[in-house]
Amino acid sequence: MYGLEKQFAKKKMKNYEKAITVEAKHKRQTQQEIHELQRDMKYQVEEEKADTESKIAIKKDAIQSNNESIQLYEDEQKSLQEKLEKLNEKEQDLVMK
């Protein structure tokens, strides 16, 4: 009876899981880029260092954005999990009657 709704919720949960994986991958890549920039800074003159620090700040903002997206997707997953539990409860209650 509620199979279609449950299927839809499960599919959305899988999509959120994929999105979390992508965001986490981007975060790791960006962190690696920051480490590389920081290593390069010791060989740079002051003008180059200022430019590199600016690039690092932008990348840190991108990481913050990744973290926010991951949190949003996790919250959505939690909400869908609760919905699935309620649908299961409703289904059980109807079977008992």
How many Å apart are CA 30 and CA 16, to the nearest integer?
21
The string of pLDDT tens digits covering residues 48-74 is 999 999 999 999 999 999 999 999 999
What is the tally of structural domains in the chain? 1
> In CATH, what number is assigned to the domain containing residue 77?
1.10.287
User: What pLDDT score does 94 carry?
Assistant: 82
How many Å apart are CA 30 and CA 37, to the nearest integer?
11
Q: Is the pLDDT of residue 1 over 70?
A: no
DSSP 78-94: HHHHHHHHHHHHHHHHH
Q: Containing domain of residue 13, as a range?
A: 3-96
Tokens of residue 34, six digits: 């920051």
- Global pTM? 0.82
